[in-house]
Every structure is written in C-alpha cells, then in structure tokens.
C-alpha cells in the first residue's frame, strides 16, 4: 500500500485577481518556521494507524508559489518524508513554480533536492492576457524557464494554460497552444477560467 502527499506553500509575490486558492501575497514569509511546522505535522500524522506500513508514491508541492522557497527547505521536507514514511524508488515529486521566480541555480537546486517534475503556471503567451490575469511573469520568462528546467535535468515538465479569458479569441487560444507545445513539455494542463 502507498499514499500520495500534498504539501501546501501558501505564499505568492502578488495575488492574481481570479485566484480562489488559499494563497496570500507577501514580501517575505516564515520559511524556516513553516518548514519545521510541516515536518512536525508529517511526523504526527504518520503515526496514525491508517498510514502504518505505507510508503509515499507521489509528493506534490502546490500553492501558492512553492518555487519561492529555497531548495534547501524543499529538500528538508522530502528528507523528512523519506525518513518518516519512506518514498517509493520511482516516486513522482512535483513542484509548482511561477516562471517569474526561478533561475537556473534554483532549478538545479530543486532537482538536487529530489524534485523530479516541475509544473510552471504559463497560463498564456499573450502579454495582454497575462496582464489581465495579473500574472507577474512574461511569455519570454516562461520560455526561458522551460529551457532552464530541461538544462537542470527535469525530464518531466508540465505547463499550465488558462483559456476562456474575457476577450480571448480562438486565434489567441491557438497561439497559446502552439507556443506551449513548442517548449516540448511532456504534459499540458488547460484550465477554463
Ligand atoms: S500565482 Fe497561482 S496561487 Fe498565487 S495568486 Fe496567482 S494563481 Fe493564485
């Protein structure tokens, strides 16, 4: 038996106006305290009989913007999960990332910390749509982030798109689909706004 672990990191650089997630704009965040709290909760919950003898088959760091965290913090959480529960050898460990919050060093650090799948919120490659959605990143930052992820050793890459944005035409959506496909992700998630 195995189970999946979802880890929520609730901070973002700014709050997108369409977002209903538990996420909060912040200039700084209590990263060390929150990491310790997550590990304590993991240790506590792992003692429940329902988890006894079970290993972890997937971990998903969602948010919020988990890529705001330092790779060392993410690594500490993965190490704790491995120590407390055990992680299956072929486990998928995903981190959601905002293209405007990463550079090559951070992605290399996340890969070294044990993350093996990265999921970027691309949303659109149209500057006006990104502005309407309140996104902090540009289309070029998404293109650069996807290339850096491949260089950092991520074989599994997801890119999120949002469609049905007010004013968006079918041609706009086709442009977004062609743009995202050109970056050769192995997975694309498209969400109706
Ligand atoms: S970056 Fe994501 S989680 Fe943060 S406010 Fe925007 S949509 Fe919500």
Rounded Cα distance between 191 and 159, Å, is 11
CA 81 vs CA 27, 29, 38: distances in Å: 28, 22, 10
**161: β partners:** 123, 190
pLDDT digits (tens, 9 = 90+) for 100-129: 999 999 999 999 999 999 999 999 999 999
* Rounded Cα–Cα distance for residues 4 and 168 (Å): 36
Residue range 22-30: average pLDDT? 96
pLDDT in tens, 44-79: 999 999 888 899 999 999 999 999 999 999 999 999
Domains of the chain: 2-192 (3.20.20.70)
- Distance from the CA of 143 to the center of ligand 1, in angstroms? 19
Atom of ligand 1 at shortest range from CA of 121: 2
Mean pLDDT of 17-38: 96
Does residue 16's CB lie within 6 angstroms of at least one atom of ligand 1?
yes
Which tokens hold the place of 64?
């919020």
Does ligand 1 come within 6 angstroms of the Cβ of 67?
A: no
Ligand 1 mean position, distance from CA 12 (Å): 6
pLDDT of residue 1: 86
- Pick the residue whose CA is nearest to atom 6 on ligand 1: 16
CA-proximal residue: ligand 1, atom 2 (nearest): 64
Ligand 1 centroid from CA 164, angstroms: 18
100 C-beta closer than 6 A to ligand 1: no
Q: CB of 93 closer than 6 A to ligand 1?
A: no
The answer, yes or no, to whether any atom of ligand 1 lies below 6 A from the CB of 101, is: no
pLDDT at 52: 86
Query: What SS3 state is found at 4?
Result: strand
Residues 6+ apart with CB under 8 A from 36: none
Q: Looking up tokens 């106006």, which residue turns up?
A: 17
CA of 62 to the centre of ligand 1 (A): 10
User: Which CA distances in Å does 161 have to 47, 73, 120, 136, 179?
Assistant: 39, 28, 9, 15, 11
């Amino acid at each position: 038996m195995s189970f999946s672990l979802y880890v929520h990191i609730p901070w973002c650089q700014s709050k997108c106006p369409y977002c209903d997630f538990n996420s909060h704009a912040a200039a700084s965040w209590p990263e060390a305290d929150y990491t310790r709290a997550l590990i304590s909760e993991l240790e506590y919950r792992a003692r429940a009989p329902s988890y006894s003898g079970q290993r972890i088959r997937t971990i998903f760091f969602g948010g919020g913007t988990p890529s705001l965290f330092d790779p060392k913090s993410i690594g500490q959480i993965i190490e704790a999960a491995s120590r407390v529960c055990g992680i299956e050898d072929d486990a998928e460990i995903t981190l959601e990332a905002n293209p405007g919050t990463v550079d090559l060093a951070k992605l290399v650090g996340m890969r070294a910390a044990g993350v093996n799948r990265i999921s970027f919120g691309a949303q659109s490659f149209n500057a006006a749509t990104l502005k309407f959605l309140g996104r902090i990143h540009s289309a070029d930052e998404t293109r650069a982030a996807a290339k850096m992820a491949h260089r950092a050793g991520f074989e599994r890459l997801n890119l999120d798109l949002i469609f049905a944005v007010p004013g968006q035409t079918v041609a706009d959506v086709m442009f977004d689909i062609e743009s995202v496909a050109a970056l050769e992700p192995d997975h694309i998630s498209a969400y109706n706004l």
